[in-house]
């Protein structure tokens, strides 16, 4: 009896197991069909264009090239190109008088005579020392070009100190026989090398000034008046263009002074009248002139006054 009951139970269990397997198979098939039907045709088409081999994404191991090679500084650019100064050339032979128009011309400096003294044709150096004057020459020494080894040995080694070196608030100016080299005063980096006939400038004082990319320099001819000599010009140093050129015989002093937007300089010789000129830095035109008795040699500003050493007289003007 027990054998019969056990046999019936085993047969029932076998039938149940067979039915479950058939049901699972059908369910899987139904699921497969349903899934295939739910994929849009467009997606299927796009999936067919996917390459069989797909590059696996990089695995972040927590290390980098910098970690593997500690000598690499991630803040340093891959390539550093050396800096080259801008070299340009001014052709004085073809430099004609020209001016620039402006709606707001510069206002001239008011010069009021304080004193006029006969100097018995004294030397500039004596006058300069006696009046305790200052010009931005290297090491604060007047006429450093005379004994550069003694007055400025470091500069002679660093710059082309063939003649003289001087500076202003922003730049260092150094002349060689063929060019004017301009350095950044803070970094001492050579920025510009302007080639021109350096025989036509005075070695006695600052006669170049760079501001906002415009170089103001003078052309001096030591002798009787002649065309195309003794003037100041404005030169766009980046675009290598002369912007303006002042009239002839307006400049043969050893230096000029920049006051706001005005260049103060002077000219004189023998037969010509002698003047202190004021030139508009924007236009190159003369906006004021003050007649003096003899040729002006050197101009120095001190404590709101203009000191002028001339051939046989010394002048002091108040500057307003």
Residue 164 belongs to some domain of the structure: yes
Alpha carbon distance 235, 243 (integer Å): 6
Residue 196 belongs to some domain of the structure: yes
Residue 224 belongs to some domain of the structure: yes
Residue 116 belongs to some domain of the structure: no
DSSP sequence for 230-297: SEEEEEETTTTEEEEEPPSSS--SS--EEETTEEEEEE--SSS-EEEEEEETTT--EEEEEEESS-EE
* pLDDT value at residue 148: 41
pTM summary value: 0.69
Alpha carbon distance 229, 226 (integer Å): 6
Total domains, the chain: 1
Alpha carbon distance 147, 163 (integer Å): 10
Secondary structure of residue 191 in the 3-state scheme: strand
Residue 319 belongs to some domain of the structure: no
- Strands 190-195 and 86-89, by their bridges, are parallel
Residue 131 belongs to some domain of the structure: no
The helix or strand, by DSSP H or E, that contains position 171, with its residue range, turns out to be: strand 171-175
Residue 106 belongs to some domain of the structure: no
CATH assignment of the domain containing 173: 2.40.128.630
Opening angle at CA 245, ends 316 and 253, nearest 5: 30
The residue ranking higher by pLDDT, 130 or 42, is 130
Are the C-beta atoms of 200 and 208 separated by less than 8 Å?
no
pLDDT digits (tens, 9 = 90+) for 128-179: 888 988 887 654 455 444 434 444 445 555 554 445 677 888 998 887 777 8
| Full domain range(s) for residue 266 | 86-93+136-286
pLDDT digits (tens, 9 = 90+) for 175-189: 777 788 899 988 889
Alpha carbon distance 220, 200 (integer Å): 5
Give the chain's count of helices (H) and strands (E).
6, 17
Residue 194 belongs to some domain of the structure: yes
The residue ranking higher by pLDDT, 15 or 314, is 314
**212: its two tokens:** 């906002």
């Amino acid at each position: 009896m027990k054998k019969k009951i056990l046999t019936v139970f085993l047969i029932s269990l076998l039938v149940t197991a067979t039915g479950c397997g058939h049901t699972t198979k059908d369910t899987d098939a139904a699921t497969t069909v349903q899934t295939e039907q739910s994929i849009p045709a467009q997606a299927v088409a796009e999936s067919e264009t996917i390459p069989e081999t797909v590059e696996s994404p990089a695995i972040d191991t927590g290390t980098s090239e910098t970690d593997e090679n500690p000598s690499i500084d991630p803040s340093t650019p891959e390539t550093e190109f050396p800096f080259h100064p801008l070299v340009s050339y001014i052709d004085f032979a073809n430099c004609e008088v020209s001016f620039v128009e402006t709606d707001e011309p510069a206002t001239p400096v008011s010069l009021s005579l304080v004193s006029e003294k006969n100097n018995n044709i004294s030397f500039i150096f004596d006058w300069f020392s006696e009046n305790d004057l200052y010009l931005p020459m290297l090491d604060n020494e007047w006429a450093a070009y005379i004994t550069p080894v003694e007055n400025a040995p470091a500069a002679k080694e660093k710059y082309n100190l063939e003649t003289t070196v001087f500076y202003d608030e922003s730049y260092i100016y150094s002349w060689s026989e063929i060019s004017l080299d301009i350095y950044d005063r803070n970094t001492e980096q050579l920025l510009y090398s302007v080639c021109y006939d350096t025989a036509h400038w005075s070695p006695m004082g600052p006669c170049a000034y760079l501001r906002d990319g415009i170089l103001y320099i003078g052309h001096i001819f030591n002798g009787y008046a002649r065309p195309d000599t003794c003037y100041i010009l404005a030169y766009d140093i980046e675009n290598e263009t002369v912007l303006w050129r002042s009239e002839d015989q307006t400049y043969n002093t050893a230096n000029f002074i920049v006051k706001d937007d005005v260049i103060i300089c002077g000219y004189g010789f023998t037969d010509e009248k002698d003047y202190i000129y004021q030139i508009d830095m924007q236009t190159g035109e003369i906006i004021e002139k003050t007649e003096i008795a003899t040729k002006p040699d050197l101009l120095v500003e001190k404590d709101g006054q203009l000191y002028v050493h001339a051939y046989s007289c010394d002048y002091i003007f108040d500057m307003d």
